[in-house]
Structure 1
Amino acid sequence: MKVYEFNGLPNPARVRIALAEKGLTEKVEFISVDVPNGEHRQPEFLAKNPLGAVPVLELEDGTTISECTAITEYLDHITGEITLTGRTPKERATIHMMQRRAESGLLDAGTTYFHHATPGLGPDLETYQCAEWGQHQRQKAVSGMHYFNEVLAKQDYLAGEQFSMADITAFAGLAFADFAKIDIPVECGHLQAWRERVSQRPSISG
Structure 2
Amino acid sequence: MKIHDIAGFANPLRVRIALAEKGLLDQVEFVPVDVMGGEHRKPAFLAKNPSGTVPVLELDDGTFLSECTAITEYLDHAHGEKTLTGRTALERGIIHMLQRKVEAGFLNAVGAYFHHATDGLGPVLETYQNQDWGRHQREIALKTLVWMDGLLEEHDYLAGDQFTVVDITAMAGFAFASAAGIAIPDDLTRLTAWHQRVTARPSLARAV
TM-score, structure 2 as length reference: 0.97
The unaligned stretches of length 5 or more in structure 1 are: none
The unaligned stretches of length 5 or more in structure 2 are: none
After alignment, is 79-88 or 63-72 more displaced?
Answer: 79-88
Task: Measure the CA separation in 2 of the matches of 1:110 and 1:14.
Answer: 15
| 1:73 corresponds to 2:86 | no
Q: How does 1:184-203 map to 2 (within 5 A)?
A: 184-203=184-203
How far the C-alpha of 1:176 sits from its partner, in A, is 1.1
List per-residue Cα deviations over 1:53-99 (Å, max 9, x = no partner).
00000000110000000000000011231100000011000110111
| CA RMSD, 1 decimal | 0.8
List per-residue Cα deviations over 1:134-189 (Å, max 9, x = no partner).
00001111111111011112211111111100000001101210111011111111
Which protein, 1 or 2, shows the higher relative CO under an 8 Å CA cutoff with sep ≥ 6? 2
Q: How does 1:1-206 map to 2 (within 5 A)?
A: 1-206=1-206
Seq. identity, % = 60
> Secondary structure of the residue that 1:4 maps to in structure 2?
strand
Letter in 2 for 1:179: A
Q: How many residues in Structure 1 have an aligned counterpart in Structure 2?
A: 206
Task: Measure the CA separation in 2 of the matches of 1:160 and 1:90.
Answer: 12
After the TM superposition, list the runs of 4 or more consecutive aligned residues in structure 1 that deviate by more than 4 angstroms.
Answer: none
> Secondary structure of the residue that 2:36 maps to in structure 1?
helix
Letter in 1 for 2:28: V
Task: Measure the CA separation in 2 of the matches of 1:205 and 1:49.
Answer: 28
> Secondary structure of the residue that 2:30 maps to in structure 1?
strand
Task: Measure the CA separation in 2 of the matches of 1:34 and 1:122.
Answer: 15
List per-residue Cα deviations over 1:92-121 (Å, max 9, x = no partner).
001101110110111000000000001111
Task: Measure the CA separation in 1 of the matches of 2:190 and 2:113.
Answer: 24
